[in-house]
């Protein structure tokens, strides 16, 4: 008779991007049996979701892509979900990046992930909020995580912890930990534009390139062009 696994379970919200790839490995390193959840909520492209599928297949991790595009008309007022809107191509700043905020996204995704955690017996739910997000994204700030933890503790018979390993760190800290864990970041996709090559101009690309620059490394992802702030300024 097969004995039930005693390995603790965790649900990881895994977009396929650089931050969530590192969070995924952090949960594995912590000894959890990981259940990865990716969400298709009507974002402009599915490159990240494709990257997530490939990584989970390679690591033999339980993975589901949840199609919640039916809510697009409710939260579509963002450059990330509306292809008719111009995507800001600049460094993250409050006056130009609010266009990339998807209303209430993390509360929605966390609610679904917490439900899945309860359903599968997981006591921890990870997502990739970090300190560099605080100025732009309200649902990545410490106050939000604290309140979500309060709610997750009472919303079901079994409490679930919302865990954000780099809530008070920046992207270069995430990258440093990922390098220590031996992560291949060529397996992730960060760009807001879903072209063949990463654009190198949107806020997400710029932030990623700066993290590699801070560690004196070259991002292995191919770019159409690299921003002047990046160490490697050549055009791929």
Query: Is 204 one of the annotated binding-site residues?
Result: no
Nearest Cα to Cα of residue 36 among 5, 67, 8, 57: 57
pLDDT confidence tier of residue 153, bands split at 50, 70 and 90 = very high
pLDDT of residue 113: 98
Query: Is 55 one of the annotated binding-site residues?
Result: no
| pLDDT tens-digit series, residues 30-50 | 999 999 999 998 777 789 999
pLDDT of residue 72: 72
Query: Is 19 one of the annotated binding-site residues?
Result: yes
Q: Report the pLDDT averaged over residues 80-104.
A: 55
47: its two tokens: 């490159």
End-to-end CA distance of the chain: 56
pLDDT for residue 77 is more than 70: no
Query: Which DSSP helix (H) or strand (E) runs through 65?
Result: strand 62-67
pLDDT for residue 5 is more than 70: no
Secondary structure (3-state) at 33: strand
Query: Is 6 one of the annotated binding-site residues?
Result: no
Count CA atoms within 13 Å of residue 230 on its CB side.
23
Q: Report the pLDDT averaged over residues 129-141.
A: 82
Specify the residue for token string 């008070």: 168
Q: Report the pLDDT averaged over residues 67-82.
A: 67
Length of the chain in terms of residues written: 236
Query: Is 202 one of the annotated binding-site residues?
Result: yes
Query: Is 24 one of the annotated binding-site residues?
Result: yes
Do residues 115 and 35 touch, judged by C-beta distance below 8 A? no
pLDDT confidence tier of residue 229, bands split at 50, 70 and 90 = low
- Greater pLDDT, 180 or 73: 180
- Domain 9-193: CATH superfamily is HUPs (3.40.50.620)
Nearest Cα to Cα of residue 10 among 180, 165, 150: 165
- Helix (H), strand (E) counts: the chain: 8, 5
Query: Is 22 one of the annotated binding-site residues?
Result: yes
């Amino acid at each position: 008779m097969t004995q039930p696994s005693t390995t603790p379970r965790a649900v990881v919200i895994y977009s396929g991007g650089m931050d969530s790839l590192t969070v995924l490995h952090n949960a594995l390193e912590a000894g959890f049996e990981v259940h990865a959840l990716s969400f298709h909520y009507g974002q402009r492209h599915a490159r990240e979701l494709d990257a997530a599928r490939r990584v989970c297949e390679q690591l033999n991790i339980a993975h589901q892509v949840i199609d919640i595009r039916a809510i697009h008309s409710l939260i579509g007022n963002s450059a990330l979900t509306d292809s008719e809107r111009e995507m800001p191509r600049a460094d993250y700043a409050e006056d130009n990046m609010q266009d990339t905020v998807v209303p209430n996204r993390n509360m929605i995704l966390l609610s679904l992930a917490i439900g899945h955690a309860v359903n599968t017996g997981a006591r921890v739910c990870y997502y990739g909020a970090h300190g560099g997000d605080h100025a732009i994204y309200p649902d990545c700030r410490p106050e939000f995580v604290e309140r979500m933890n309060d709610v997750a503790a009472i919303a079901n018979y079994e409490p679930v912890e919302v865990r954000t390993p780099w809530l008070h760190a920046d992207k270069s800290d995430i990258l440093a930990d990922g390098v220590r864990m031996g992560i291949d970041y060529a397996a992730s996709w960060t760009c807001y534009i879903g072209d063949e090559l990463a654009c190198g101009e949107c806020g997400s690309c710029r932030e990623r390139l700066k993290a590699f620059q801070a560690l004196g490394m070259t991002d292995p992802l191919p770019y159409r062009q690299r921003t002047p702030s990046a160490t490697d300024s050549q055009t791929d």
